[in-house]
Amino acid sequence: MRRWLVTGGVGFIGYHLTRALLVRGDAVTVIDDFSDAPYPARMKEKNLADLVAEHPGFRLVRACITDAAATRHHYREKDGVIHLAGLAGVRPSFDYPARYSRVNVEGTATVVENALAEGIDQVLFASSSSVYGNSTPLPAHEDAPAIAPESPYAASKRGAELVASAICRRAPQLSCTALRFFTVYGPRQRPEMAITLWARALLARQKITLFGDGSMRRDFTHVDDIVRGVVAASAPKRPGFRAYNLGSGAPIDLLGLLRALGKAAGEEAILENAPVPAGDVDATFADIRRAKSELDWTPRVPLENGLREVVAWVRANP
């Protein structure tokens, strides 16, 4: 049994990860502030209720990760930290760039600082494929330059990586792992994300807004594969900073995604086009060779199976 502190542990990915750790017998303390954006607080409360019903022994702390003094004592007697809390979303980050920087960069620095103060030598945290922007050659490799973020969100995730890497230089005992998630989907996904949003529209026979001509490509990765990747990355303790791509390695264009989702839902999409919003990149495409070789991890959930699962979840949760 290992003792974990999981920040953001009742969000979308957080719920699935917390549950997986509890199922395997680990002790989990979750810190989450239940903020209402971008993941609705009501969904976090539902996730919490489902976790408590299945695993009543886990511990929840309602607090914000940026509050070092209020949260530090919760780091005591933990074997490691998995830091998932943060502000997600490319488009809203243009409206609140300072808030994104404070939560994602300062929040990550605070988590690592608290971990070191309490003698924890392993921190894993959620980064993003957004760090690569449009300038990185595809498929994106972890060692490729990530120097031209397309949004404040992307900049904040890259900033979190840089500050964590810098801290590691002064704390040689620390194992700090940045996990670059590629377009995660699955049950309990944020409702404004494309797959869940489009599934609801398809089932309700409503119009779907398609940005651009549908040629943008995304590397969609099922949440179960992401959770397996996080768990795999938690096993080794390599001192220093290391980044890993967690993606499917098989991007699909948005029109192809719509066709596949329509097939899963048994409905045909009614489309309306709109300009591509600021900050959206042309494509995401993960080079996953490092995760395969160092973590013995490969994605397992085919997109078609994952889409059917999302459609079933949407039907059951109108």
Q: Which residues are catalytic?
A: 153
Q: Cα separation of 143 and 19, whole Å?
A: 32
Q: Cα separation of 124 and 137, whole Å?
A: 26
User: 86 with 104: CB under 8 angstroms?
Assistant: yes
Q: Cα separation of 302 and 256, whole Å?
A: 14
Q: How would you write 45-109 as a 3-class SS string?
A: HHHHHHHHHHCCCCEEEECCCCCHHHHHHHHCCCCEEEECCCCCCHHHHCCCHHHHHHHHHHHHH
Closest to 164 in 3D by CA, of 128, 124, 131: 124
Measured CA to CA in angstroms, residue 19 lies from 3, 47, 251 at distances of 14, 10, 28
Please state, as a whole number, how many other Cβ atoms lie within 10 Å of the Cβ of residue 305. 11
Got the DSSP string for 161-205?
HHHHHHHHHH-TT-EEEEEEE-SEESTT--TTSHHHHHHHHHHTT
Which residues lie below 8 Å from residue 83, measured CB to CB, with a gap of 6+? 7, 8, 65, 108, 111, 123, 124, 125, 126
225, HSE (Cβ side, Cα atoms, 13 Å): 28
